[in-house]
Amino acid sequence: MQKRTLLPIALTAAALALIGCAKPELAAIPTAPAAVAQAAIAPPTVLPAASAPLPITAATQRVALPIQALPSQEAELTPPAGRSLLDIQPDETLQLLADIPIPRTDFGVRMAFSPSSDVLLHNGAGLLIQRFDLVRNQPLPALTGIEVFSPFTISVSPDGSVIVADDGSQMHIWSSGSGEQLNSLLLPPIGARVTAGFHADEFFFAADTSGNVLVWDPHNWGEIGRFSYPGRIASGVLFPDGKKIALQDQTKSEIAILDLQGIRLGRVPIEGDNDRLLSISPAGDRFLLHVGYGYPTEGVRIIEVETGQTVLDLPLLNFRQFAVSSDWSLLAAVGVQNELRLYRLPGGELLLAQPLGVARTLGVSMSPNGAYLAFYVFKGGDQGAAIQVWGRGSSDP
């Protein structure tokens, strides 16, 4: 199972401490009052593009770091037969498939699924990346070599052979087969990473809170481009065509659209200081936003990139954790009362509402094939913390 791109990993609490409201949350949130009607908000608009996208230019510096070449062919990514969460039945509930104990911490735990196998990766032990095989229900050898900070981002190549994670001012690269650390990349020591990932087998990119964007060739890990966009970046997503990047700039209350040379192509105004860009559609024509964080108008909004018009407003008061499937057909949302809801996109049809039975939920991640959900949870009392993986309990629909 493969897919063309890997969705960016969730923002960490450390990074979000610099930029505002955080997901996962760092402090318990009291029970909110009953939801009230969502206030009408005028849809944003997009300014005309300043110029057409340009190709990535040669970098000012290049360091050859040999590594195994990634394949140029990609297989169709499909969930195991009968396991897609999108096909859940009206009388069905999700089952706990794995319960992985980790040290309890209020700092964010990052989770990622391999796009080519049923393997979950996480940094729940601190200066390690641990891996868990969901088919064999057992851990795989951990990835070591992290020295400064637990990673803000964890990325897996489309074929699953390479894993990349940040460590302060470096990006470390491992072979997933051997677990050997292959190389490290130098980063500007300015801001924390907000997004990173592979664009097929063409390049790997990373962006930070200070607006630095860097691009590398994953075949030899030479740097092929970089630019610095002035601003305070809350989040970012790469367009699926690999030609543009969207950076949410809090200083200007907008999503800036840039080519990979840093040329500004357009903007989408952000209505609220507590709104967050979460994802971009596979066609690159829609943004998914978490809007009104902490307000009665809180929810999820889908807007068109070109026009800024709202496609979907989904009120979700006190829901703070979100994950969306690779094909944008399924949205998972978790509230402060630890209830999971699954929605079909783009219409917003509710498929499932189910309590998780934990004391607190601080993060959620969905597998690219739409078969698994992973949650970082506090279990209550002296039971500590865990990463729990949920899914359909049978291979039968």
CATH number assigned to the domain comprising residue 316? 2.130.10.10
Please give the tally of structural domains in the chain.
1
52 lies in some domain: no
Q: What is the pLDDT of residue 30?
A: 34
216 lies in some domain: yes
Q: What is the pLDDT of residue 382?
A: 84
354 lies in some domain: yes
32 lies in some domain: no
Please name the residue ranges forming H helices in the chain.
13-19
Strands 129-133 and 193-199 turn out to be unpaired
The order of strands in the sheet holding 162-167 is 154-156, 162-167, 170-175, 181-186
Q: What is the pLDDT of residue 54?
A: 33
222 lies in some domain: yes
Q: Which residues form the domain of 89?
A: 13-26+75-391
Residue ranges in the chain modelled with pLDDT below 70: 1-82, 394-397
| DSSP conformation letters of 51-98 | S---PPPPPS-------PPPPS--PPP-PPTT--GGG--TT---EEEE
- Separate counts of helices (H) and strands (E) for the chain: 1, 28
Q: What is the pLDDT of residue 80?
A: 62
244 lies in some domain: yes
**For the stretch 142-174, what's the b/e string if a residue is b when 16 or more beta carbons lie within 10 angstroms of its beta carbon?**
ebebbeebbbbbbbbbbbbbbbbbbbeebbbbb
Q: What is the pLDDT of residue 191?
A: 79
Q: What is the pLDDT of residue 25?
A: 35
68 lies in some domain: no
Residues 6+ apart with CB under 8 A from 52: none
Residue 59's CB is within 10 A of a number of other CB atoms, namely: 16
Q: What is the pLDDT of residue 369?
A: 85
Residues 28 and 122 sit within 8 Å (Cβ to Cβ):
no
φ, ψ for residue 156, nearest 5 deg: -125, 135
361 lies in some domain: yes
Distance CA 39, CA 83 (A): 38
> What pTM does this model have?
0.78
Q: What is the pLDDT of residue 318?
A: 96
Half-sphere exposure of 152 (CA within 13 A, CB side): 26
Handedness of CA 99, 104, 106, 111 (dihedral sign): negative
Q: How far is CA 331 from CA 216, 249, 349, 396, in A?
A: 31, 25, 10, 22
Half-sphere exposure of 132 (CA within 13 A, CB side): 22
Q: What is the pLDDT of residue 142?
A: 95
For residue 290, the SS3 value is strand
